[in-house]
Amino acid sequence: MPRLEENEDLNKIFSITNKFYVNMENQELFDRLINSVQKKESYYTLSLGLANLLANFRYVGLYDAKHVEEATELHSIVLAENIKELEVEEGKQYSKEKLPMDMNSNKEVLAYKDVVMEVQGKSLRGVFRDLVLLNENNIICIY
């Protein structure tokens, strides 16, 4: 195998599909966010954890959201406290992480919560509470 020279660039492409749903009460700030994402403007460079793994993003659209008391399939990560029952399925990989939920303007974390996810982006099955229906078949957890 050939050796790499110091500082030699490696051309790699990672195909990772993530979806981020945003909900906020400040309409002016929300409109600014939509405008920035549509123009592909960002305050910080979006990366996949390392400076040499820059990420791309795109605006998808707006959805009308309806509150759902309980559901048996979920298409996002979920707060651990919103799980009544989790069905562990063969071929799926599950992870539980403690994530920051609230930060102040100095980037100090004010609150953490546990979330559960399927690491390959597949849906979760079980019994979940306090969710949001975005379209006919896309149920997510908002926190």
How confident is the model over 20-66, as pLDDT tens digits?
Answer: 888 888 999 999 999 999 999 988 888 777 767 788 888 988 888 88
Angle at 61 between CA 76 and CA 66, to 5 degrees: 55
Of 98, 100, 120, the closest CA to residue 108 belongs to 100
Residue with tokens 């100090």: 108
Instruction: Say whether pTM exceeds 0.85.
Output: no
| Contact status, residue 85 vs residue 125, Cβ threshold 8 Å | no
Tell me the residue type at 130: D
